[in-house]
């Protein structure tokens, strides 16, 4: 399954980028994941008549993907502007996210992981008609203690849960493609 991976952080050493890369490597047998560049211009309806090249490339990759993985940090109890901007571009002109299966994960140093951001993200994606994996919520808290210096997720309970969620997503995708 070809999966577009949208990481809502531009920070070089982001725990969410680390998580996305871990998922990309660990589940390569089931998921052909590509981390997409979200360093896009701010969405502006005036640009829709002549889309910037990087937006065209981004939209094509989202459109061509079988599914989307959202890896979100939590900023002020919500998703990042970077992720919202990418979603806005993906949903305009051609609704590249409509009916597309997806799932959400996130990591933060805080005690709640990214629970509030994920709740908000689910609301946004539901509004666009995405088919988001239900009841499989990966909120990695205290992320600074759960990855080693090589970027591997080392918390056994978190890895086991992530294994289960990815397996559930693959089955969800197969049932809904």
Please name the helix (run of DSSP H) or strand (run of DSSP E) that holds residue 3, with its range, or none: strand 2-7
Q: Model confidence over 94-132: pLDDT tens digits?
A: 999 999 999 999 999 999 999 999 999 999 999 999 999
CATH number at residue 135: 3.40.50.360
- Domain residues for the domain of 53 are 2-176
Calpha distance 118→123 (Å, rounded)? 9
Query: What pTM did the predictor assign?
Result: 0.96
Q: Which of 39, 31, 23, 110 is nearest to 71 (CA)?
A: 23
Q: What is the mean pLDDT of the chain?
A: 96
Q: Model confidence over 28-58: pLDDT tens digits?
A: 999 999 999 999 999 999 999 999 999 999 9
Question: Into how many domains does the chain fold?
Answer: 1
Angstrom distances, CA of residue 8 to CA of 19, 30, 176 = 12, 23, 26
């Amino acid at each position: 399954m070809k999966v577009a991976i949208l990481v809502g952080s531009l920070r070089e050493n982001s725990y969410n980028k680390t998580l996305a890369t871990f998922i990309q490597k660990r589940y390569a047998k089931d998921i052909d994941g590509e981390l997409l560049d979200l360093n896009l211009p701010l969405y502006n309806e005036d640009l829709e008549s002549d889309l910037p090249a990087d937006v065209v490339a981004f939209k094509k990759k989202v459109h061509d993907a079988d599914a989307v993985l959202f890896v979100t940090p939590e900023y002020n109890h919500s998703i990042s502007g970077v992720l919202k901007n990418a979603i806005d571009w993906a949903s305009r002109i051609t609704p590249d996210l409509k009916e597309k299966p997806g799932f959400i994960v996130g990591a933060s140093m805080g005690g709640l992981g990214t629970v509030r951001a994920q709740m908000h993200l689910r609301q946004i994606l539901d509004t666009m008609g995405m088919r988001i994996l239900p009841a499989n919520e990966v909120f990695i808290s205290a992320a600074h203690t759960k990855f080693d210096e090589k970027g591997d997720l080392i918390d056994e309970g978190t890895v086991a849960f992530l294994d289960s969620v990815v397996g559930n997503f693959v089955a969800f995708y197969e049932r809904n493609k």
